[in-house]
């Protein structure tokens, strides 16, 4: 993440999960949670940009294990305070664009609400880092926001690269410009089709999900 985005999430760590308490999103979240658990049940998961561990906590009971990573020490501190099944979750500071240093064997990866913060020009770099770390035949799952007028923060501007930005205010009174891209299903398919096998995209009301397997055959020494 950029330095500005890291600072924003460091400041937002204590209030980040308030977004999941919005009344209008509860029915949608009740559909998202079982879908996500079903996609990653029994897997050894590399979680990218875990933030405060909200989704880590939901996945931990059904995953074989999770290595939850983030570039921000503050949000990882909040994530470590949650309760998880014993020996099921490990945390690590990591750059999503350079995942080679993350130790462990993984049959799957998950990134929740990170895709929308990736500059469009850097998306191939992120996917290359992720797929290279996993190897062929691994499950990949993304979850992110759809734009819903009246609920989503309005878009403040669009730059020449096609990236869009929101103006957000935090409880401490600070204002932040945050990169937030909203992708259509057609754009997602175009971005992923070259590297994905069995791509499945699901649209909820406030969220979208995507899951697929990295192309190629997984080595026989790794299990799923």
Q: What pLDDT, on the 0 to 100 scale, is given for residue 1? A: 63
Domains of the chain: 3-150+182-214 (3.40.50.150)
2-10, long-range: CB < 8 A, 24+ apart: 2/179, 4/176, 4/177, 5/117, 5/178, 5/179, 6/71, 6/72, 7/176, 8/168, 8/170, 8/176, 8/178, 9/51, 9/72, 9/74, 9/75, 10/72, 10/73, 10/74, 10/75
pTM of structure? 0.91
pLDDT reported for residue 172? 84
Please report which confidence band the pLDDT of residue 222 belongs to, taking 50, 70 and 90 as the band edges: very low
The pLDDT of residue 223 is: 33
What per-residue confidence (pLDDT) applies to 11?
Answer: 63
Average pLDDT, the chain: 91
């Amino acid at each position: 993440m950029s330095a500005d985005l890291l600072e924003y999430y460091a400041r937002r760590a204590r209030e980040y999960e308030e977004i999941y308490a919005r009344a209008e999103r509860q029915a949608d979240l009740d559909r998202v949670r079982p879908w996500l658990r079903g996609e990653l049940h029994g897997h050894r998961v590399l979680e990218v940009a875990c933030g405060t561990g909200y989704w880590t906590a939901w996945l931990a009971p059904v995953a074989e294990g999770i290595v939850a990573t983030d570039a921000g020490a503050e949000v990882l501190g909040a994530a470590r305070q949650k309760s998880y099944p014993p020996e099921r979750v490990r945390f690590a500071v990591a750059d999503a664009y350079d995942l080679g240093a993350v130790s462990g064997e993984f049959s799957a990866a998950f990134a929740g609400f990170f895709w929308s913060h990736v500059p469009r020009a850097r998306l191939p770099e992120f996917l290359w880092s992720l797929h290279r770390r996993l190897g062929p035949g691994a499950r990949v799952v993304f979850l992110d926001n759809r734009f819903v007028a009246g609920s989503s923060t309005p878009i403040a501007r669009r730059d020449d690269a096609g990236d869009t930005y929101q103006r957000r205010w935090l409880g401490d009174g600070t204002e932040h410009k945050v990169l937030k891209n909203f992708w259509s299903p057609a754009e997602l398919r175009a971005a992923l089709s070259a590297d994905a096998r069995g791509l499945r995209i699901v649209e909820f009301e406030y969220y979208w999900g995507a899951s697929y397997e990295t192309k190629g055959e997984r080595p026989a020494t790794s299990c799923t």
